[in-house]
Amino acid sequence: MKRFNVTGLCMPARDYMVDISDKISKIRNMVEMEEYFTINRARQYGKTTTLQMLKKDLSTDYIVSRISFEGIGSTIFSDEANFCLGFDELFGKSLRFSSASQEDLLLWTDYQKKTDNFLRLSEKITEFCTERKAVLLIDEVDQASNNQIFLHFLGMLREKYLARKAEEDFTFSSVILVGVYDIKNMKLRMIEKGYSGIMTGEIKYNSPWNIAADFNIDMSFSIPEIGSMLSEYESDHHTGMDIQEISLQIWNYTRGYPFLVSRICQETDEGGMPWNPAGIQAAVKNILLEKNTLFDDIAQHLESNDELRSFMYELLILGQEKHFERTNTTIDLAATFGFIRNEVGCAVIDNRIFEIKIANYFISKNLENKNQLKITGVLTEDVVQNHHFDMEYVLQKFSRHYEDLYENIKNRKFLEENGRILFLTYLRPLINGKGFYHIESRTNTERRMDIVIDYGPDQYILELKLWYGNKKHEDAYEQLYEYLESKHAETGYLLTFDFRRQKKTQMNWVTYKGKQIFDVIV
């Protein structure tokens, strides 16, 4: 019986898998062009499974060696001799599980040929590749990223690549490095972190992997690709699901992030939930409450990097516009970890689940900070009537608490900068356990933030804004109207933070182009 697998390598015979044959075909084209390149994607992005499928696809035409530096200890990186001998052994072992013939295997494992330095290893690669098309795949290359010896190895491969182009050497047809980080920039990072120095006359930016071709293949799952996995599941289980609808809904939550796609399917299947929108929503709710390695990574990265944490706070909570520019090291890091993506030149949070988890991280930090005033006084039972969430009541109560805070708190600047996080801190416990929300920050100077709250079968659309005058406030009705139209909703909520010294809380229902909008200004 097949299953949805979220741990380790996926195998077609035992696991439900997305059809990624189109991605494999595109990667194969790069191999056939004899490119050297890096597949660098965030954690749990299906890299190892992709590599295994690529190996299988290439094996009819190439001798494919797949090795990994994970789990072999640090001795291999202690000096040149240990690395060359270790690589020799790893490569020879991998040949036993490839399409290599016995003759190929014997040639490589000829122990009369010592490989205790890079020159001898290079000569051995030349001899092996003289009459053979070989591809080298190195998985988990991040394990070697802080080692100067590995940089020398990459430099050797680069020199052989260039010599081959000049018809002065034989070497691997293609070399593919797989990891989280962009190996082309490895040397610069090592220099900056103090792992490596600059030799006399050496150019700081002369990367040992600057020969690598750009890898621009989208590794996320598209809606049709998600549908291919669901179709296979449906043929076994006959649930009657609308595959197109469910694929779209899963994609809307995940933007095709492979681990999240598979985890939603796994939770729906193993949790006995129906394969309909309500079932998928329930699965997402459960996943958001769990502890897993991906969510742990998110928290760890935010905890350990002040610049990254500030950037994500400004982008998600404050709604500040951030241009997607990967020469900015903080933006590059956020993209490397899969937190953000490029949308028309602007940085946006990659997917809804990440939006929720990162927002919850900042909310939890707000609650932990004893110096920040918390808003309390409303119970869940107060805002749920007949199993429906009373958003109007929540905004009424919040405005009263906020007005008290504004009158009494000495640090007005704190409220101006953190009004949104205060509202989210106020909202979260009221929906926690039975619903959830996601944030859709708007990248424009008006600093809009749309919050979509799912509670049972109901959805509530709330827009947060800062006060920029009457004209801008009137424009907000049109903006919210357009968003409601896109969501096929008739009712919306508008919460505006007004920081003028003389102001009074206002709230009333407004009819705009047939839509009902509860307008609150605090």
| Cβ neighbours of residue 341 closer than 8 Å, sequence gap 6 or more | 255, 324, 335, 347, 348, 350
Dihedral of CA atoms 332, 157, 125, 162 in degrees, nearest 10, equals 130
**pLDDT one-digit tens code per residue, 391-440:** 999 999 888 877 776 666 555 566 666 777 888 888 888 886 678 887 76
**pLDDT one-digit tens code per residue, 10-68:** 999 999 999 999 999 999 999 999 999 999 999 999 999 999 999 999 999 999 999 99
**pLDDT one-digit tens code per residue, 351-373:** 999 999 998 899 888 766 644 54
Once rounded to an integer, what is the mean pLDDT over residues 136-153?
A: 84
**pLDDT one-digit tens code per residue, 280-294:** 999 999 999 899 999
3-state secondary structure at position 417:
helix
pLDDT, averaged across the chain: 87
From residue 101, give the alpha-carbon distance in Å to each of 2, 97, 104, 364: 33, 10, 5, 58
Cα–Cα–Cα angle for 336, 183, 130, rounded to 5 degrees? 140
| Cβ neighbours of residue 144 closer than 8 Å, sequence gap 6 or more | 69, 77, 150
For residues 4 and 15, what is the distance between their CA atoms, to the nearest angstrom? 6
Quickly state the pLDDT bin for 124 (edges 50, 70, 90): very high
3-state secondary structure at position 441:
strand
For residues 488 and 179, what is the distance between their CA atoms, to the nearest angstrom? 41
DSSP 354-365: HHHHHHHHHHHH
pLDDT for residue 445 is more than 90: no
Q: Please, are residues 467 and 519 in contact by the beta-carbon 8 Å criterion? A: no
Write the DSSP symbol of residue 437. Answer: E
Determine phi and psi for 182, rounding to 5 degrees: -80, 110
**pLDDT one-digit tens code per residue, 329-354:** 899 999 999 999 999 999 999 999 99
pLDDT of residue 378: 57
User: Cα(first)–Cα(last) distance of the chain, in Å?
Assistant: 57
For residues 187 and 391, what is the distance between their CA atoms, to the nearest angstrom? 53
